[in-house]
Structure formats: structure tokens, C-alpha cells
């Protein structure tokens, strides 16, 4: 038995170009490298400039809208209009990322890991978690956009733990997002985001896996054989036949992902847009203070909204300027990136009810505990600067404008 397993592993690791599978994988690696490069050059690198522009707009004398979000909206604009505008903008912003995700998910399914191959299944829960954690930052997608890729690898033996690690690694451990957070926020707030992201990527998946496994009365045969279920396709196939078949399967799989997940993304995107419209300066002053309730509300808000990659950075910076305290800011900075209705709805098809509920709950708990730790430090070390780096000028300007603006207007009217 051990010799058979060794032979399967040896054949699975070989790269004999005489087989159709090897030809598909080589072509798939080249295609993935090309579309990943194009995605970063034309979307992810410009994204840094967009976020920088958002930060400039919210620290100016007058806070403007960014990425469809306007906390100080025109009073003549209706609630429905603001909701639709934000939701449409959100869908437009994630379209490129979602397209990339559909293409990569179907590329995995047709070129890299066609039916019958399960290389993700090796290494046990820890190994599958590490694979997902390492691949996630490479994908560099928001928690909603990574869903198609997660679906694809789950069906290729990644398991619950590897799937969730991929989601968390992509959305919270994105290198540009971590760098931006460390530069924009005061050191300890930026550091809290990095630490929570690393721990969530490594721990949430295995925790959900254990809860799901303990909740089952009998372990399925498939779960027991994940370690040895390698099937390598070694049939000889010409380059023309192999690539023709792979490209056909790629196009078919992309269309299937679009049909299955596209409407879900749109509906849940409007749901996120509805929730975020309730954020206002009055709500911030009332509910987002440095207390346990504020941390709980911020953590809850985070998992109720889906945001484009790095949108949480200017959002939290703006809310800090408007009066949100640092503890709820730490919770929201993580949970807004970690998941949302689109993410959870998309993963419900592959995780099952128990695992999905565990994933949502543990994500909330991570944000809540992270916020509580920040709260304890902020209360015990009040001299530390925990906020947004350029807070002083913008906050003082806005405070002065609120205090002296009406008086100055009255003086101008009397002079006239």
C-alpha cells in the first residue's frame, strides 16, 4: 500500500510533457503568469493611487465622496439614490477583480488541476492551511472576488481549512493593503491589523474545520482518503488536442462561474450598499466609542458589508476623523476586509451550513477580540497615538468650522 502511494506521489510530482495533463499545466502556468501580471499592472498598482487620492479627499477642508461612499451627502439626494449609487459604484469597482477571479478559477479547473487531480489534499489540515495562506496574497483579491477561486480549489481537495485560508490570505494579507495600513495609520493601529490578519489566516480555517468535523457523527470516506487520493492523468496527447480541450473547458467553466456566482455577487453587493448607508456622523458619535459595545458594533458592521480591496483603509480613516475611537476602528479595519454578505453567500455552496456559521462567527470573534485588546492598551496607555496620522489638521479644521462657521456667516451678513 505504501509503495502504491509513493508511486502516485512520484508520478504526481513528475512533469512528463508527453502527457496531456503536463501540457495543460505548463500552458496554464504561463497563462496565469500573464494575466496576473496584467492584473497587477493595470488594476492593483493603480489601486494604490486611488486609495491615496481617497485619503487626500477625506483630509481636506471639505470631505468629498470616495469610491461611491459619501458620508456628508447632498440633502436633496434621497436615501434610495445614495444606496443605488454606492452599490453600482461598488459593483463597477469589483468587476475587474471578479473577472480575474472567474478566469483564474476556471483556469485552475481546466488547465492546472483538471478533473481527477487533487494535489491540494496532501499535507493534512496544517498543510492545506499553509497552501491557502501562501496562495492568498498572490491572488490579491477582496473577500468577495476570491470566492470563485476558493470554490475551484475546494473541489480540488483544499478542504475547508485551505479554502478559508485562501479567502483570508487574499483579502486581509494583501501586501499592498498591509503596507498602506501601516503607512496611513499610527503604528499600533497598523500593527494590530497586520497581527490580526496573520492569525486569522492561520487559525480560522483549522478552527472551522475542527468544529465541522466534531459536529459530524461519521467521517466521510472522502475525508479519510484526502491524504492518498491522487489520480494523475498520464495519457499521451498532442499539444493541439490538449490545448484545444483546455481552452474549451476554460471558456465553459468561466461561463458557469459567471452564471452561478454573478447574480449572487450583484444582489449581495446591493445588500452591503444598504447597510453602509446607515453610517453617519451622529451614529459614529453615539455608537463607535472606546467601549465594548462600540467594538461589538464595529465588528458586526464589518461582516455586514463587502468592500473593494483596500476600501476599508480610507473608510476607517474617515470614520476616525469624524469621531470613531481606536478600538472599534481596529475591529472594523479587519472585519470589513475579512468577509461580508457576498463572501458568505458565495461560500455557502461549498462549506455547508455548520462550517459557514462557524466561519462567520469566528471572523466576528477575531475582530471583536482584536478590538478589545486595542481598547485595553488604549485605556492603559493613553499617551500613545492610536489614530490616523494626519488627524490633527483635518479634525481641528472641522471642529472649528462647526463651532465658528455659523458665527462667521452671521458677521458676514451683518457687514453686507
Task: Provide mean pLDDT across the span 226-255.
Answer: 71
What the block records as the C-alpha cell of 43 is 488594476
Q: What is the 3-state secondary structure (H, E, C) of 391-408?
A: HHHHHHHHHHHHHHHHHH
**DSSP class of 119:** G
Percent of the chain with pLDDT over 70: 74
Burial 18-32 (b: 16+ CB within 10 A, else e): ebbbbbbbbbbeebb
Q: Is the pLDDT of residue 394 over 70?
A: no
Least-confidence region, from 46-50, 147-151, 187-191: 46-50
Query: What span, in angstroms and rounded, lies between the C-alpha atoms of 260 and 380?
Result: 50
C-alpha–C-alpha distance, residues 117 and 308, integer Å: 33
* Phi, then psi, of 80 in degrees rounded to 5: -65, -40
For the ranges 7-21, 225-239, 244-258, the maximum mean pLDDT occurs at 244-258
**pLDDT digits 0-9 by tens, 58-88:** 555 555 566 667 666 666 677 888 888 888 8
Q: What is the pLDDT of residues 137-165, one digit of tens each?
A: 988 888 888 988 888 888 777 889 999 99
Q: What is the pLDDT of residues 302-318, one digit of tens each?
A: 999 888 888 888 888 88
Give the pLDDT confidence of 210-239 residue by residue, as tens digits: 999 887 754 444 444 343 333 344 456 788
Q: How many CB atoms lie within 10 A of CB 206?
A: 19
Q: Distance between terminal CA atoms of the chain? A: 96
* Cα–Cα distance for residue pair 372/350, rounded to 1 Å: 32
Global confidence as pTM: 0.76
pLDDT of residue 4: 46
| Radius of gyration, CA atoms only, the chain | 24
Residue 360 CA to its chain's centroid (Å) = 13
Closest CA to 197 of 127, 409, 189, 346: 189
- Do the Cβ atoms of 297 and 368 come closer than 8 Å? no
pLDDT above 90 covers what percent of the chain? 24
Query: Any idea which residue has 475547508 for its cell?
Result: 160
Phi, psi of 209 (to 5 degrees): -60, -45
Q: Rounded distance, CA 340 to CA 275, Å?
A: 11
What pLDDT does residue 306 have?
A: 85
- The rounded Cα 267 to chain-centroid distance in angstroms is 18
Residue 199 binned pLDDT confidence (cut-offs 50, 70, 90): very high
CB-based contact 68:76 (threshold 8 Å)? no
Average pLDDT over residues 384-409: 44
- Of 33, 50, 160, 37, the closest CA to residue 94 belongs to 50
Rounded mean pLDDT, 322-343: 91
Low-confidence winner among 30-39, 195-204, 210-219, 291-300 (lowest mean pLDDT): 210-219
Residue 181 pLDDT > 50: yes
Q: What local confidence, expressed as pLDDT, does residue 297 receive?
A: 95
Cell of 304: 455586514
Domain ranges of the chain: 18-48+74-401
Residue 120 has pLDDT above 80, yes or no: no
- Residue 388's SS3 state is strand
Instruction: Using the predicted structure, report yes or no on whether residue 205 has a pLDDT greater than 90.
Output: yes
- Decide: 398 and 390 in contact? Cβ < 8 Å: no
d(C-alpha 35, C-alpha 128), whole Å: 25
- In this structure, is the dihedral angle defined by the CA atoms of residues 401, 402, 404 and 409, taken in order, positive or negative? positive
pLDDT level of residue 119 (50, 70, 90 thresholds): low
Residue 319 pLDDT > 80: yes
Cβ(371)–Cβ(299) below 8 Å:
yes
Find the farthest-apart pair of alpha carbons in the chain and give their distance in angstroms, rounded.
96
Higher pLDDT, 206 or 97: 206
pLDDT value of position 294: 94
Q: Are 8 and 232 in contact (CB under 8 A)?
A: yes
Amino acid at each position: 500500500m505504501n509503495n502504491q502511494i509513493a508511486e502516485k506521489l512520484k508520478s504526481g510530482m513528475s512533469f512528463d510533457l508527453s502527457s496531456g495533463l503536463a501540457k495543460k499545466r505548463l500552458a496554464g502556468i504561463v497563462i496565469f503568469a500573464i494575466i496576473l501580471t496584467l492584473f497587477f499592472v493595470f488594476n492593483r498598482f493603480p489601486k494604490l493611487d486611488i486609495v491615496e487620492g481617497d485619503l487626500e479627499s477625506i483630509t481636506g477642508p471639505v470631505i468629498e465622496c470616495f469610491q461611491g461612499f459619501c458620508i456628508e451627502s447632498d440633502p436633496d439626494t434621497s436615501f434610495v439614490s445614495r444606496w443605488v449609487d454606492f452599490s453600482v459604484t461598488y459593483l463597477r469597482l469589483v468587476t475587474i477583480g471578479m473577472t480575474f477571479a472567474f478566469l483564474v478559477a476556471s483556469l485552475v479547473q481546466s488547465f492546472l488541476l483538471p478533473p481527477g487531480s487533487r494535489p491540494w489534499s496532501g499535507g493534512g489540515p496544517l498543510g492545506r492551511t499553509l497552501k491557502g495562506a501562501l496562495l492568498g496574497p498572490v491572488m490579491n483579491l477582496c473577500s468577495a472576488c476570491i470566492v470563485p477561486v476558493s470554490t475551484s480549489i475546494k473541489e480540488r481537495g483544499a478542504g475547508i481549512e485551505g479554502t478559508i485560508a485562501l479567502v483570508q490570505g487574499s483579502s486581509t494579507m494583501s501586501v499592498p493593503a498591509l503596507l498602506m495600513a501601516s503607512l496611513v495609520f499610527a503604528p499600533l493601529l497598523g500593527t494590530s491589523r497586520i497581527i490580526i490578519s496573520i492569525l486569522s489566516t492561520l487559525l480560522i480555517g483549522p478552527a472551522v474545520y475542527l468544529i465541522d468535523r466534531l459536529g459530524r457523527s461519521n467521517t466521510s470516506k472522502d475525508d479519510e482518503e484526502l491524504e492518498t487520493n491522487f489520480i494523475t492523468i498520464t495519457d499521451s496527447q498532442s499539444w493541439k488536442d490538449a490545448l484545444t480541450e483546455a481552452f474549451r473547458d476554460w471558456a465553459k467553466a468561466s461561463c458557469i462561474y459567471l452564471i452561478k456566482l454573478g447574480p449572487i455577487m450583484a444582489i449581495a453587493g446591493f445588500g452591503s450598499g444598504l447597510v453602509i448607508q446607515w453610517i453617519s456622523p451622529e451614529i459614529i458619535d453615539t455608537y463607535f466609542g472606546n467601549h465594548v459595545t462600540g467594538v461589538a458594533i464595529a465588528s458586526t458592521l464589518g461582516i455586514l458589508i463587502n468592500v473593494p480591496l483596500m476600501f476599508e483603509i480610507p473608510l476607517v480613516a474617515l470614520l476616525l476623523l469624524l469621531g470613531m475611537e481606536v478600538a472599534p476602528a481596529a475591529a472594523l479595519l479587519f472585519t470589513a476586509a475579512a468577509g461580508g454578505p457576498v463572501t458568505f453567500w458565495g461560500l455557502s455552496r461549498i462549506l455547508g451550513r455548520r462550517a459557514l456559521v462557524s466561519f462567520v462567527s469566528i471572523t466576528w470573534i477575531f475582530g471583536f477580540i482584536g478590538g478589545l485588546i486595542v481598547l485595553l492598551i488604549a485605556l492603559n496607555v493613553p499617551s500613545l497615538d492610536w489614530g490616523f496620522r494626519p488627524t490633527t489638521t483635518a479634525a481641528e479644521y472641522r471642529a472649528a468650522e462647526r463651532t465658528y462657521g455659523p458665527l462667521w456667516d452671521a458677521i458676514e451678513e451683518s457687514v453686507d
